[in-house]
Amino acid sequence: MKKTPLNRIHRELGARMVDFGGWEMPVQYTGVIDEHLATRSAAGLFDVSHMGEIEVRGAGALDYIQQLTVNDASRLVDGQVQYSAICYPHGGVVDDVTLYRFAADRFLFCVNAANTDKDFAWMQQVLDEGDFADVELRNLSDDYAQLALQGPKAEAILSRLTRCELPSIKYYHFAEGQVAGVPAIISRTGYTGEDGFELYFASEAAESIWEALMAAGEADGMKPCGLGARDTLRLEMKYALYGHEISAEISPLEAGLGWITKLDKPSFIGREALLRQKGEGIPRRLVGLVMTDPGIPRQDYPVYDGDEQVGVVTSGTMSPSLKVGIALALVRPECSSVGKELQIGIRSRKVGCRVAKTPFIKNRRS
């Protein structure tokens, strides 16, 4: 398995390590619920150095990205971040990504860890088969480490280690500065629904920055957090996870990502298939479910309307914030209205649930 630059520290902290997409990663330290609630109330520090970074440079960079992604990258200005997706011609998702604009001829994609090699190969294929002037792709994943500092006290903690004017960095914007004396990209983004930052910097600086952040956040109750809490936090916000809510078989329209899918763009890969899907009627929709009977929903559990199966759970957990079972599920459109009573098949029984308004909790980021 691949290891991040912080593997030694995770082991010294007693983290339980697991295989995640070919990476040895911490799933928890003190416990998923403890880490989840610390992030919601104070701050959590996550090692996300397994994520991939792919740079696009050249005069034709924007034209290339416009063809590659579903969102409209022409709306970006320098220092802005965009959530987007890359699709196959049939409308399924290659990956969901965040896109950073540094200049008109320089962009950086952050991609999902398990997809990095696949994404880079697809991006290179699109480049090779297209007519794009002076575009260069570089997989810089080995050069970067990445930490996510999330929670209502994240700004106060980070401010002790940087001279960067953090209040001036708006949501989904970034700045280049220093953290603990190390050059870094400081991005006001995250995967938790809380305010916070994602920090990119040279891999060899990972241990020193981790230790500086942990020391800076100790008095505020910040805790190291693993993949378990990262998953429950994103699920409470209805944030998609590749391989669950989106995949090569699930379109962005089915996954509720129509808001990033700009079908009015003249051309992008997958546009025709997505237009056709929208015109014919989206066959299934992603909804949030809250259990009305005791039970914890899990991925691949069937969803019923009476005796008929109408969908499947894509992600599920016991919500640490709400103390009730919650799930995301793909269901038939006629079963997607908020308040609709459904059932989830848990082992040999059908357990009651209800389509809920999402996100399950209020988004508390600034």
Give the model confidence (pLDDT) of 147-183 as tens digits.
999 999 999 999 999 999 999 999 999 999 999 999 9
Residue 366 in this model has a pLDDT that exceeds 60:
no
Query: What is each CA distance from 310 to 303, 335, 336, in whole angstroms?
Result: 6, 8, 10
Burial of 346 (0-12, 13-18, 19+ CB in 10 A): buried
Match 């480490």 to its residue by tokens: 145
Q: Does 332 lie in the same domain as 196?
A: no
Q: Does 232 lie in the same domain as 290?
A: no
Sequence-ordered list of residues with C-beta below 8 angstroms from that of 308, at least 6 positions apart, any chain = none
pLDDT band at 15 (very low <50, low <70, confident <90, very high): very high
Sequence-ordered list of residues with C-beta below 8 angstroms from that of 124, at least 6 positions apart, any chain = 137
Domain residues for the domain of 191 are: 2-50+143-236
Q: Judge whether 25 lies within some domain.
A: yes
At 363 the pLDDT is 72
Q: Judge whether 92 lies within some domain.
A: no
**Cross-sheet strand order for the sheet of 52-57:** 80-87, 93-103, 106-111, 52-57, 136-139
Q: What is the CATH number of the domain that holds 295?
A: 2.40.30.110
- Angle, in degrees to the nearest 10, between helices 227-236 and 32-41: 60
Q: What are the tens digits of pLDDT across the range 314-324? A: 999 999 999 99
Name the amino acid, one letter, at 161: L
Stretch 306-314: mean pLDDT, rounded? 98
Q: Does 228 lie in the same domain as 292?
A: no
Q: Does 227 lie in the same domain as 300?
A: no
Q: Judge whether 212 lies within some domain.
A: yes
Q: Does 298 lie in the same domain as 232?
A: no
Q: What is the CATH number of the domain that holds 160?
A: 3.30.1360.120
Q: Does 291 lie in the same domain as 216?
A: no
Q: Does 148 lie in the same domain as 214?
A: yes
Q: Does 20 lie in the same domain as 147?
A: yes
Neighbours of 170 (CB within 10 A): 12
Q: Does 31 lie in the same domain as 149?
A: yes
Find the length of the chain: 366
Q: Does 181 lie in the same domain as 38?
A: yes
CA 17/CA 29 separation, integer angstroms = 9
Stretch 305-327: mean pLDDT, rounded? 98
Q: Judge whether 109 lies within some domain.
A: no
Q: Does 220 lie in the same domain as 152?
A: yes
CA 144/CA 101 separation, integer angstroms = 17
- In this structure, the dihedral spanned by the alpha carbons of residues 125, 80, 252 and 130, taken in order and rounded to 10 degrees, is -20
**End-of-domain residue from the set 236, 270, 295:** 236
Q: Judge whether 366 lies within some domain.
A: no
Q: Judge whether 40 lies within some domain.
A: yes
Indicate the average pLDDT of the chain.
Answer: 97
pLDDT band at 189 (very low <50, low <70, confident <90, very high): very high
Token digits for 194?
């809380």
Stretch 1-11: mean pLDDT, rounded? 97
Q: Does 324 lie in the same domain as 202?
A: no
198 among the known binding-site residues?
A: yes
The pTM assigned to this predicted structure is 0.97
At 365 the pLDDT is 64
Sign of the four-CA dihedral 239, 243, 244, 250: positive
Strands (E), 188-323: 196-202, 223-225, 285-291, 302-305, 308-319
Report the number of distinct structural domains present in the chain.
2
